[in-house]
Each structure stands twice: as structure tokens, then as C-alpha cells.
Structure 1
Amino acid sequence: PKMQAQGCKTLFDMDELSVMGLVEVLGRLPRLLKIRKQLVQHFIDNPPDVFIGIDAPDFNLRVEKPLKDAGIKTVQYVSPSVWAWREKRIHTISAATNLVLALLPFEKEFYDKHQVPCTFVGHTLADDIALEHDDSQARSQLGLNADDKVLALLPGSRGSEVGLLSETYIKTAAQLQAQNPALKVVVPLVNEKRKAQFIAILNATAPSLNVNLLDGQSNLAMQAADAILLASGTATLEGMLYKKPMVVGYKIKPLSYWIFKTLFTFNIKYFSLPNLLADEELVPEFLQSECNVANLTAALTPMLNSDNKELKARFLAIHEKIRLDASKQAANAVAELINAN
């Protein structure tokens, strides 16, 4: 809608392309392949100055390759996680793109190593979130006092994540609240379906837990919190940008984990963005069986009883590093590509 408001003409409804999950993709595969073929033909017949694929690399790179072969300049905005796993995809990216726009500095280092054109533009979240901010307004909006101790739980946005993580998160919060009965617990949930799912697990696990369930408002929950327990993903970056101590606890189904570990080689020491950006463990990470109540409680307890000044200073330094006015940097890089011979 925002792009349409700026005059963007849509060839297909974005909802047709917004498909996640292996089974869901397979069910829509014939339609997705048809759309991809039609897009390629449209842009070959009506060549633009540049084609910019935004994220969705499995779809966009296969559009970009034939366009580049036809002499159309192509840009991939948001790098695939090629630096983390399936490193050989770098050859596909090189063949499909004239330029990659990277959100994170270590991504550019990876592309430079492989001699693939890449510009580090920074992250739009780092632009949107102020370097320093007053948490009191967020607390006021959530009915919390300035001197409350607040723990935010973010068990993910997908049903599988909420299903696998909520029980452990709830038990951890209950143990922390038993140690400090005044502890406030806030849980933002992305929609009514996830909220109902979480409530069912809460009632079966710790119905006496004193918890404030929020409709969305994850940004307010993070701003108001003294510490956050959350799943991996962009939320870890957002929590870091709000300068909040956090513990990352994540689980996937055991069979899926076994398949990933067996079939793929991972080239990273950490899986949360704060640690990847720092290249050291700034925030504790617990995966699979290590994501248990004892570990999570032990990691969160000191965070809730400290001012965490050193950690917050590290977060601020990273924030400054990736706060470059990403949209302007990206526009400049694309304009330079268009104007190059």
C-alpha cells in the first residue's frame, strides 16, 4: 500500500506471493511459477532501467537471472542468509544480480570476499528507532509504573513457534515471579489466533501467573521491559536497538532440527543478530534442549537485578554502526548503478 501510494503500479496482488512454509508453497507452486514466468516476460518486453528484488530471494533471484541475461540491471535488496548456510548460493546470486544491497556490515564482508558487488546500506529499523529514548511513555501506555520490574515474553509470531516455546517461557516467568512476586510480565501476541493459542498453554501450564497479554504492541512491550525473553529473528535486533538485555530461547521440531543438522553445514557461531553483529556472545542463546527453564531463569535473573550499563553501551555502538539512513543509501546506490556504463 505504501508503494502504491507513491505511484507504484502492481502487476499481481502481493497476497499471491506471500506464502510461507514448505507445504503452503507446494500447494501454490503452479501459480507462483506462472507469475514468475509472466513477470520475466513483462520486464523483457518492457525493460526497466533497473529491476529491484526486495527480500524473497528464492523467488526474486529466479526473476533477476533471466533479466540480467537480457541486459537489464538487477539489484537484490536484502541479502539471503548465504553467509550462514548454503554458501554455494553465492554463485547463483552473482549470476543473477549486478548489485546486492546489504542491511548488515558482516554481509558486505562476505560478498567482498567472494568479489560480488555489494553495498552496505544499514538497516531501516536502526533508522526508525532513536539512539536514545525514554521508556516512561511506553510504561504509561501499558499501565506500568516507572519503578516496576518488567519482563517481556515474545514467543514468536508463527503458530509453530508459539506452540513450541510458550510452555517453557511461561514456566520461566512463573519461576522468576515466584522469586519476585512484584515482577510484571507482558506478552505481546501478533493476532487473536496466537493469543488464544498462548492462553490455552498458559491455562494448562501456570494459570496463576500474573501476566498482561497485549494485542500486538511488541515495540511497546520491549521499550517497557527491563529484560526480554524472545525467539530468534528480527525481534532480537529490535530489542537490541531499544537497548534491552535479552535472552534468546528457540526450538524447532526435533525432526526438522535433525534434518537441518544432517543436510546443511552452518557457518556461524551464533544465531541471534546482536551476537552476529558483535561477533561475540553479548546475549545468551539457548537452542533446542538447552532452551529450558533452568537455563533461561539463570540467565534472566541477573539481568533483572542490574542496570546492565556495559551491555547497553555495546548495543548503542552497534546501533550507531548500522544507522546510516538506509533508504537514502539504497537509493544512491541504485542511482549510481543506473548511471554507470
Structure 2
Amino acid sequence: MIAFIVRRLWQAALVMLVMSLLVFMGVFVIGNPVDVLISPDATQEIRDRVIAQYGLDLPVWQQYLQFMSNLLHGDLGRSFVYNMPVSELIASRLPATAELALTAVFMASLIGIPLGIYAGYKPDSWASKIIMALSILGFSVPTFWIGLMLIMVFAVQLGIMPAGGRGATISVLGVPVSFLTLDGLHHLALPAINLSLFKLSLMIRLAASGTREIMLTDTIKFARAAGINERTILRRHVLRLISIPLVTVFGLELGSTVAFAVVTETIYSWPGLGKLIIDSITSLDRPVMVAYLMLVSLLFITINLIVDLSYAVLDPRMRQGGGK
């Protein structure tokens, strides 16, 4: 197990190195931040001074080496627009995105997995057919359209939910959270529901297909022949056997939700990383763009490592293989 962890960490470091090069070069070719930072009416002397201040007069390879040197020392650079360290800027926005993503993924899992197991356990019932039909809608309808419809119905017409913002927050271990306040829950509900619908549909269909396949195996036949009741079969056998693909999807969807909650955060004016990256792209704030993409890469690598390690806990065969 230790050798596996060391090997994966080495692979992760190599992937992060390649990603840093691709991200830096990709962001470098997108526009010229000087056109945004400096007024067109500025003199050439002012332009030269600002360009030298941000190191934009250096060759690309030298800017990359300087970026990597600062990164190894924990310095992600300084935002061109906000004029503050990028690490502080991201740290101030990350709790909002993490709260929204965790709420959406946990909501999708807690609702989708039981519904999917029921749909796979009784595939011919009318309730199962309704569940599977609704899951198709979750895949088909665009997220931005659902978000706008939720605002129109619950915020505009009924007036029972806020249309945007994060609401009141309280500090827990220095981290502001909104789900512990009533006003924060009101603001969190609509964006969390909007963000969770696609994940909910995915969990339903994955759990349903896995349950239907496992119910036809000899394991379930032997369990029924031994007199084990159906509730115990579903809890101890079916749920355990479908847990590996569910854990994989849970981890990947959590990472993608944190990384790509841009649409939802923009629609609901949620002050998270998604809205920050949109504003940074608009203003060509290179340090923020590079830091965000590096953070997303690190997030996916970390989640993949955690998912791989969880396999050994869920599947005894992998533990035995690792021991050998």
C-alpha cells in the first residue's frame, strides 16, 4: 500500500508539472493584459513602467520559470485587477464554492442512490418508470435554463426564495458558512438544487443499472436461498457491490462540481470561484486564471488518489492483491 501511495504521488507530481506548462502557455496566448491594465491615454513611459512591474516584458520561458519558482515557495502571484495575493483571493472565494458543491453532491447522492436502487430492484413498477423518466430530463435540460426557471417560479412569481447572493454567514473555525443560518439556507437552496439535478440523474441511472445487474447474480440467489430478507440483501449485498462505481462517480462529480460550477454561480450571483474565474477571463487577470486552473488540476488528482485508496477499503480482493 505504501509503495502504491508513493507511486501515485510521483505520478501526481509529474502530472502537475505538465499541467503547469500547458496552463501557463495556454493562458499566455489569450490576449494581452496590458490592454486592460493600462488606459489607452497613458504615456509610453507609464506603459513601460507597468509592463516591467508585472514582468510582462520578459520572454515566455523566463516568465514560466519565475512562476514555477514562486509556486514552489507557495506564491501564486498577485492579481492584476484586485491588487492582492492570488492565494488570499482564492481562499476568500473557495468556501462558498465548496459549500455549494458539497451540498449539491451530497443532496444528489442521498436522494439519487435510494431512488436508483428502488428502480433497479423493481424495474417494472410504475414508480420505477417515473423515476427513470425524470432522470432522463435531468440529463437533457440545460442547467442554465433550469436555473432561470427556478428563479422565475420561486423568486419572481411566488416570492418565497431569494434570486441570488449567499445570504447571512457565520464563521466556523475561521471559515464563513451559510448553511447554518436560516437566511443562508434560503439563499443556498435554489443554486444547490440547480447544481445537483445532473448529478442526481447520474446517480439514479448508475445505481439502477448496477442494482438490476446484481439482482440477477448467483450471490443474490444464494442469499435468498439462505433465508435472508430482502431489506438485508439490499443493504449488505447490493449496496456494497455497487459502492465502487458510486464512489468513483461521487469523487469525480465532486471535483467537477467544484471546478465547473461557473454557470450556477453566475446565474445566482454566488460569490465563489466560478464567478471569480469568469471575471478574471473578462479582465485577462492571468495570475488568477493560472492559479485557478492549477487548483482544479490538483483537486482532480487528489480526489482520484482518494478514490483509488477507497477501493481497497470497499473491495477485499484489492487488499489481497496489494498484499501479494
Mark yes or no: TM-score above 0.5. no
- Higher strand residue share: 1
What's the TM-score once normalised by structure 1's chain length? 0.25
What's the TM-score once normalised by structure 2's chain length? 0.26
By relative contact order (CA 8 Å, sep 6+), the higher-ranking structure is 2
